[in-house]
């Protein structure tokens, strides 16, 4: 089955700096890669996703890149703000439906 | 358009009791997924259901756990004879039905199960 590895497990940055979280996947059939943000005690919320037919997608301060050959994808957050502090999860999906999640990255943005 | 609904939000059970967790998908969604999240850990897939069918239960423990998504009513995750290790947050997600090649999933608020 699919295996998703996510790094780093914790990340601390200064407000205004950039943050990068990386994930690798194993199943070449995976074709949809969402990223979720989860605040303490709350549900995971989709923040951005990318499909296998594109290499990059951007939404304001958030961008995601995908390298299908290397089977890795990354989340980039620019101009970080304290409210970006949360746990971020990557996931990989095939058409079979279920999501395989990475173990999460705890991002702390220091004011 | 209401989002994914889960109830109860918090559930306390004693060891050996049964826990029933309910999930109502978003309107128009016919695919339901259950995930378990242990404290300070990631989300682990348990089961994927469509109406009246279990599509993938590869993440579900073989004993004590069962899931259903009847023709009418919510999806139910049932845990029999709960043990302390079952304490976790259980999240349900739903996605659009057939014809959608990419399954964007929307999560409910979760049920936090505590086993005493």
- Cα dist from B23 to A14, A76, A82, B31, whole Å: 39, 33, 33, 11
Q: Which is nearest to A100 in space by CA: A48, A27, A45?
A: A27
Rounded to a whole number of angstroms, the distance from the CA of B108 to the nearest CA of chain A is: 6
**Contact list, B55 vs chain A (CB under 8 Å):** 96-97
Q: Which is nearest to B44 in space by CA: B30, B61, B31, B66?
A: B61
**Nearest CB to B48 within list A46, A89, A97:** A97
Q: What percent of chain A has pLDDT over 90?
A: 80
B51 touches chain A (CB under 8 A): no
pLDDT at B116 over 90: yes
pLDDT at A103 over 70: yes
Q: What span, in angstroms and rounded, lies between the C-alpha atoms of A65 and A22?
A: 10
pLDDT at B50 over 80: yes
Rounded to a whole number of angstroms, the distance from the CA of B68 to the nearest CA of chain A is: 16
Give the pLDDT score at B97.
65
Chain-centre distance for alpha carbon B40: 19
Give A84 or A30, the one with higher predicted confidence.
Answer: A84
Q: What span, in angstroms and rounded, lies between the C-alpha atoms of A87 and A66?
A: 21
pLDDT at B20 over 90: yes
């Amino acid at each position: 089955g699919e295996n998703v590895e996510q790094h780093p497990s914790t990340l601390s940055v200064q407000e205004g700096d950039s943050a990068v979280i990386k994930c690798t996947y194993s199943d070449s059939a995976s074709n949809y890669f969402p990223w979720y943000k989860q605040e303490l005690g709350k549900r995971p919320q989709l923040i951005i996703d990318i499909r296998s037919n594109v290499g990059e997608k951007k939404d304001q301060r958030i961008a995601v890149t995908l390298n299908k050959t290397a089977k890795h994808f990354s989340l980039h957050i620019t101009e970080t703000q304290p409210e970006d502090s949360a746990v971020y999860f990557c996931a990989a999906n095939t058409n079979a439906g279920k999501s395989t999640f990475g173990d999460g990255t705890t991002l702390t943005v220091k004011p | 358009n209401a989002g994914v609904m889960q109830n109860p939000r918090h559930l306390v059970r004693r060891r050996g009791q049964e826990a029933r967790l309910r999930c109502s998908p978003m309107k128009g969604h016919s695919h339901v997924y259950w995930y378990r999240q242990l404290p300070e850990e990631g989300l682990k897939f348990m089961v994927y259901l469509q109406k009246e069918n279990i599509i993938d239960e590869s993440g579900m423990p073989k004993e004590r756990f069962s899931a259903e998504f009847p023709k009418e009513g919510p999806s139910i995750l049932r845990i029999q004879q709960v043990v302390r290790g079952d304490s976790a947050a259980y999240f349900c997600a739903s996605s659009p039905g057939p014809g959608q090649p990419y399954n964007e999933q929307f999560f409910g608020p979760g049920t936090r199960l505590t086993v005493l």
